Structure 1
Amino acid sequence: MKTTPTTIRLDDDLKKELNKELKSMGLSINGYFNLAARQLVIQKKVPFEVLAESDEPTETTKKALVAAQAKELGIIPDDALSFNNVNELKSYLDKD
C-alpha cells in the first residue's frame, strides 16, 4: 500500500500530552491518526464522542466572581475606574 506524507499542526502542549497518552496505549501519533481515519471511512462518522471542555470555572475566574459579588454587596470597595463618556476615557488613556 502506497502512503502519502501528511502534515498536521498541533499545539506543543497538546502534542506532548497526546504522545504521553498514546505511548501508554502502545500507539504513535501516526498510528492514531491512521486508526481514526480508517474508522471514519468505515463508520462514515467521527469514530469517537466529541466533548467540550468542562464549564467549571477556573480558580482565577472563581476569585473574580467572588470579588465582583463582594463589590456589588459593598463588602469591599469598588475601586474600578469609570468614565461618563468616551472622551473622558481617551483623556485618561492619553495621560502620561
Structure 2
Amino acid sequence: MKTTPTTVRLDDDLKKQLTKQLKSMGLSINGYFNLAARQLVIQKKVPFEVLSESDVPTEATKKAIVTAQAKELGILPDDAPTFNSVDELKTYLDKA
C-alpha cells in the first residue's frame, strides 16, 4: 500500500499529552491518526464522541444564568429593550 506524507500541526503541550496517552496504549501518533481516519471512512462519521474540556461554566456564565433566571422568575426587573423591527433596533443602537 502506497502512503502519502501528511503534516498535522499540534500545540506543543497537546502533542506531549497525546504522545504520553498513546504510548500507554501502544500507539504512535501516526498509528492513531490512521486508525481514526480508517474508522471515519468505515463509519462515515467521526468515530468518537466529541467532548468539551469542561462542562463547568465560567463565573461570567454563571452570573448570566442566575440573572436570566431571576428575571424570568420576576425577582429582578427585566429592563432589556425589546424591538418590533430591525429599524427600531438600528435606531436604538444609533442613539447609544
Normalised by the size of structure 2, how large is the TM-score?
A: 0.58
Deviations 1:21-71 (A, max 9, x none): 00000000000000000000000000000001213267xx6xxx8xxxxxx
Q: SS at the partner of 2:55?
A: coil
Q: Which runs of 4 or more aligned residues in structure 1 lie more than 2 Å from their structure 2 counterparts after TM superposition? A: 55-58
Could you tell me which amino acid in structure 2 is paired with residue 45 of structure 1? Answer: K
Match of 1:6 in 2: 6
Residue of structure 2 equivalent to 1:28: 28
Point out where structure 1 has 5 or more consecutive residues left out of the alignment.
Answer: 66-96
Aligned residue identity for 2:15 = K
Cα distance in 1 for residues equivalent to 2:28 and 2:55: 30
Gaps of 5+ in 2: 64-96
| TM superposition score normalised by structure 1 | 0.58
1:17 aligns with 17
Count of matched residue pairs: 61
CA RMSD between the two structures:
1.8
